[in-house]
Chains A and B, each alone.
Chain A
Amino acid sequence: MSPQFHPAVWWLWSLILAIDLARANSSLSTVISLGFMTVLVITAAPQSPWSGSFWVALKLGAWIISIRVLISVLVGVPYPGRTIFTLPQLSFPSWMAGIHLGGAVTAERLSITFHEAFVMAGVIACFGVASSLTSPHQVLRSIPVMFYEFGVAVVIATTLIPQFVAAVQRIRQAQKLRGQENKHLRNWQRIAIPLLEESLARALNLAAAMDSRGYGFSRKRSRYRKQPWRFGEYVLALICAITLLAPTWGIYLLLTAPFIVKPRSVLESAK
């Protein structure tokens, strides 16, 4: 059965895993963690627009690794070891000593940069897991009422972005229908003006709707269906805290914890 926890617990778990990974600084732990996280996302991610975040995070990690390695080949501190190939070196004046462009590329230098970038990609993947497993709206529902206004703003923004993208497509189509191709730069206003107007109209409409539904009228506000933490979630949080003491070995405990700790029952998690 796929593990289901309170969204805040998932974020705590991912955050601590990221800290542990960075502290352990081991390629092996990172590889194992990535494997576990992939299994977790495949089995537990709900059907939502956010469930793809993990894969996006993995792609981002791959980019970071390749850019980091590329830069270390071009610019870098000379590192002793077995030379793989040598690039033509640019010589700088003496006052810029210490900066090198090109030069000998050693296997050690490559492997160290790759290792660093790989751990960084692992840390990024942790945040991908958290956002894949929880909906941002769910998370915002469980933050304290103090931050409510901020939460509403984020919810509106995340709802508006897909609508905005759809509006751009619609307006481009409409301009095509008027026989206007979008190749000319001077035609930008044919897209921008309707888009701006629609966004404004939408914002005004939303403000009016929120206003007439009493938003911001009462200083106190209540919360519909608060999600209290369950026993299993306290256990998981405790495990997370313990692993901070010994990151290298703690990672393995942390990774298996979501599979061991008794999750919410299906009925509860559906609520």
Chain B
Amino acid sequence: MSHEGPVPQSDGLTRLSIDATSDAVRTALAEACGIWASQAADPDLCAAAEQVLAEVLNNVVEHAQAGKSDGTVLLDTAVRGGKVHCAVLDDGVELPDLQLPPGHRAVIGDDLHSLPEGGFGWFMIRAMTHSLSYDRANGWNHLEFSIIHNKSA
């Protein structure tokens, strides 16, 4: 699927089509930040939303779409009532047990070599979102979330 740039939707959302690569995620994040700024989200809200969206899209690329070359990832987003709303749709593998991962904070012990190098993503998503839901239908993952100012600032 080729990159087409932002497409306005009839319901006020803007849609981005994103290739399932980490470089395409970078491009999409820059475009999403542009959309939010143009819809009067302040810089702190944009930064928080970018952080969450990065973790969500990285998960999609690294897990749901892993090993697929022709996958589709879509983002529908808008700023409404001081919140950034995002819906991420992708046709990859479903989340384990069709559920959002618990996203516990990674445990930091005293031993240097047991320090976690991963497992931060879902914790950050849960800590920084105002609402978060997941649905699987007709072979598509549908992850929806909103971000407000100052959640875990």
A, B co-complexed? no
B residues apposed to A, CB below 8 Å? none
A residues apposed to B, CB below 8 Å? none
